[in-house]
Every structure is written in C-alpha cells, then in structure tokens.
A and B are shown apart, each in its own frame.
Chain A
C-alpha cells in the first residue's frame, strides 16, 4: 500500500512536469481537445441557420477531480510529526498554484492522526498537520480566504486496522475542494 502511495505521488509529479509547472495552462490545454472535435464543428455550423451566435465556450476540466492533474488530494505524515516531505511539497505546490489562479475555488484542510495515544492530543497533531499544509499553500499563492482547517484527530480514520500500514494511511491531511 505504501508502494501505491509512492506511485500516485510520482504519477502526479509527472503530470505537473508535463504542464510546465504552471497549472494556469490547464484550462488552455483543454482547447487541445478540439483536435478530436470535428463533429462539434459540424454542430456549430448547423446552429448558424438563423439563431444568434453562441459565445464560444471552453473545455470543462476540474483538475481536482479523478484523472485530473490535482486528483491526489492527500498528504501523509510520520508518527507524531507534522513535517511535509519533498514529494508532498511538490504536490502542494501544484494545488497552491491552482488556487492562486482560481480565486473562486476554496479548499478545506482536514487533519488526521493514527489511533495510537490519546484522542485530544491527536486532535492537536491533526491541527498542526493541517496548518503545515495551509502554510505551503499560502506560500504558493493561495489566499487565506480560500483555506479553512479542521482537525479530526483519530476520529475519522481513512482505513480501519491496527498495523503500520493502516496507521501510515490514517496520518494525513485531506484537501477537500468545495464544488
């Protein structure tokens, strides 16, 4: 499972590299979809028979959805720590850029811990992790008004289980974009 996590992060970094590190190009990239849209040209010409011209649209592409460049919206942490590792930092840079370019988007940062130790102390760890992610997003251009945080401590595990694998998946911050 740890291997899967690594793979997702590497995959994301490849996608980020592909768009030259500027997520602002993502909406533009959508226009490249035109090359598969010969039939849509046809329908556009049919619609010219009398009615007002429609304004030209753009591709709909939410990079935070599944398959999008920012589909990985979870950052993982070591035990009793809130340090963001290099790979997660790259991931968050992508999200920070996207938020900077899309001021209407808001994201809720949900901090979590594993089940070990006391519950309220784990609320503290979850909050510290959410704040660490928040700082990186702010440094990358997100504004404070786009970000909110909440800590669930160990109350909302991603997976059930009492082993290293489950614990490593539960020590996390989830980025929840509002629709």
Chain B
C-alpha cells in the first residue's frame, strides 16, 4: 500500500513521458558571420501527392547558417532556380559571388516513402562535389534533412556535421519558492523540443549515455537528491541512486556500463564513486575531507577527471578509474571547476574564475595552457559538440538564463534563448547512430 501511494505521488509530481512543446529555442548568431562562405540552397522541387510534407531546403539553409560558417543567399535574390545539376548556369551564380550551389528535390516513392535527392556543386570549377539520395518516412524527414546537412558540412569543411545531434537542457519558470523545472531534449537547431521530466523541485546535471539513448540526471522530486536514468524513446526511467545525503553529478563511462557519481552518504563529505549499472556494485574512488565532485571520464575510460577543493579552492584533478593517486591538472587562477574532456581528448573545458568573472576556459592537457573563450560574468556548464568544434554553455542575458555556443577557436558565437523563463545546463548528445 505504501509503495502504491509513493508511486502515485511521484506520478503527480513528475511525468516522465515525452510531450511535444513548441519550438522553444531561438538561435541568433552574435559573431563570426562576416567570414562565412556565400552559398546558395535552391528551393527544392516536390514530386508527390498533395502538398509538400516538409521544407527540406529551408531546414538545410537554417542548419548551414546556424553553423556560422556559411551565408545562404535568400531565394528571392536568385537569378535561376534549377532542380538538378543539368539545369545550372554557373555564370548566374558567379555574378552573385556564390561559391557553392545545392540543388535537389523531395520525391515521394511510396505510401510513406520519400527520397531527398540532392547535388552539391563548386561554382568556380563547375564541378559536382557530392550527390546523394537519402530515403526517409514522413516522420523521419526532419532527421533525414539534418543528416543531409551533416554530409554537406563534412564535404565542405572536412569536419563531421552536428546538425543531426540533440541538446538536453533544463528550463526554469517562475520565481522562488514556486518554480517549475523541466528537462527537455531538442534537435541541435532548437526544433522538435520535447519534455522528458517536469517537476516543482529542482532537476539537475543531465548526462547522455554514450549510445545517445538514455539520460542520467539528478531530481529533488522527493525533497532529497536522487539519480535517475531515463530511456528517451519510451520515457521509462529507473532510480539508480537514492542514498542518504548528496546524490549528484552522474557521468557515463564510455562503454555505457558504469556511472561515476558523487555521494556524501551520512558523513556529509562529498566523494566520487563508480556504480556498475548491471551488478549495482558501488566502488569508492576518492576518500578525502574535501569536496570531490563533477566526475567525467577520459575517452578510453581509464581516467576520471573531477573537481576538488583539497588544496583549499576548487581545481581539476584526475585519478585512475580503477583507483590510485590523484594528480592536479589545473593550476592557473583561484577557481577551476566542472571539466569536460574534448572529443579529441587533447583539452578540457572548465568554469574558470577570471578576475571575479566566471567564464568558460580550455586547458590543453599536454602543455597546460589556459585559454579563456567567453566574456560573461556567470558562464557555466560547458559541453562539447561531439565533433569537438563547438562548445555550448549557460550564460546570462539581462538577468535571464540563456545558452550560448562558441567555436573552440573562439571565432563564432551564438546565443540561444527560450521564450519563457531561464534555460541552463546544456548537454550535447553524442553523434546519432545510423
């Protein structure tokens, strides 16, 4: 009976199903566009029954513009609108200074079968760089279009595209003590936002499983911190840690079998533990009077990077995941916390106190240099895109919590806000598995 009551209570506080919300995120590029490559995405043709089910070329154009590296020509400035390579007059595009032209069509091939057919041309050489037919069902058209954008981006830059990836983040509405917390997952372009969990108590620290199918996060819905693992597709979730004291900072091992997490147990001292998700065996990794938290794994799973104030103020350390001696990684400045390892494993992104301002920094792991990438005063929660080119982080815009991205070379900046309330704790998904 008690079990049933508890279950009902948690249903009232939280519902763990995907609910579609309107495109919540608004993205604007705040720097870097002047160096963008002029490109033309000709409005795609449509062959099929009735109205065109999805605007492929508009989404491609948004994706490529959002990257900050391309400047798509508005369709009303185009001198021609070819649908295939045969119909392109390259002279028309050279006059406009366009370097790359993309043409294509959306074709219906069955009841619920479509093909996105496209070609990519180098205008100056008049040569095809890429041509592809991507099949999709009607429901898959948005994702398929992002995949096409990924292919185009990779062809033109040599870097794997991230338009088909997703972002998890927390939104907060209302004034304390009455606030509404939501954990949301959206496509990288901010569309297709879906609520994963909703609660009147804080939600924190979303962490993607390496296969991109699950999220671990912290919830205070029972007025104590607990860690849950939730499957995105089904919405089903499992409580994996509800021990006395703090349950925080979940982080998946690269093989997806373990979670590093922070526990205080009853002595109130935060230490890092590793939980084997299958066997439920818990192994203690640090054992100090200091705050040891914010664990993150090295790419090969052999090392754990974490924040500790064992030297008096928070700094980054690393320790073998099998246990051993911790060594200090960050040295510059009084405050370096919440590290995330870059996909190349060459650097860590951190929250760095830069003369009283909290900013996102990069520390090179081989030579230890520090590079400050952002200019805010309350920047936090950096998360690498899986291609390592861009970081997303939380910042403030006139007292409002917003997200922002910055390329690791510091050149291109974007601001991402929600229509209502604050947005925080962005976590970039791994690459989508095809």
A→B interface (CB under 8 Å): 80, 115-121, 123-125, 127-128, 130-131, 134, 149-153, 155-162
Contact = CB atoms under 8 A, between A and B. Distances in A.
A120 B358 contact: no
Contacts of A123: 204, 225, 246, 248, 262, 270, 293
The 8 A-B residue pairs with the shortest CB-CB distance, nearest first, are A124-B291, A131-B268, A155-B202, A118-B338, A118-B337, A120-B249, A124-B270, A118-B351
Give the interface SS of chain A, mostly helix, strand, loop or mixed: mixed
A117 B380 contact: yes
Interface in B168-182: 175-177
Contact of A151 (B246, B337, B380): B246
Nearest to B377: A162
B150 interface: no
Contacts of B377: 162
A121 B220 contact: no
Interface residues of B, number: 39
Contacts of A151: 225, 246, 264
B358 A158 contact: no
B225 A121 contact: no
Nearest to A151: B246
Contacts, number: 96
Contacts of A134: 268
A80 B334 CA distance: 11
Given A155-B202, A155-B204, A120 B268 contact: no
B425 interface: yes
Contacts of A155: 202, 204, 220
A117 B358 contact: yes
B392 to A, nearest CB: 15
Contacts of B246: 123-124, 127, 151
A117 B264 contact: no
A157 B378 CA distance: 15
B177 A149 contact: no
A118 B175 CA distance: 21
A117 B176 contact: no
B425 A127 contact: no
B202 A121 contact: no
Interface string B225-247: 10000000000000000000110
Residue of A123, A124, A130 with most partner-chain B CB within 10 A: A124
Interface string B76-115: 0000000000000000000000000000000000000000
Interface string B364-399: 000000000000011011000000000000001001
Nearest to B313: A80
Given A119-B380, A124-B291, A130-B268, A157 B307 contact: no
Contacts of B270: 123-124, 127
Contacts of A119: 204-205, 338, 380-381, 425
Contacts of B153: none
A121 B204 contact: no
A155 B179 CA distance: 10
Nearest to B401: A115
17 contacts: A117-B337, A117-B353, A118-B381, A119-B204, A120-B249, A120-B307, A121-B293, A121-B314, A123-B225, A123-B246, A127-B264, A127-B268, A149-B268, A150-B223, A155-B220, A156-B177, A160-B175
Contacts of B294: 118, 120-121
A162 B396 contact: yes
B335 interface: yes
B422 to A, nearest CB: 10
Given A116-B378, A119-B204, A158 B176 contact: yes
Interface string B345-366: 0000001010000100000000
B335 A117 contact: yes
A120 B204 contact: yes
A149 B245 contact: yes
A95 B377 CA distance: 38
Contact of A120 (B245, B262, B353): B262
Contact of B293 (A115, A116, A124): A124
A124 B294 CA distance: 10
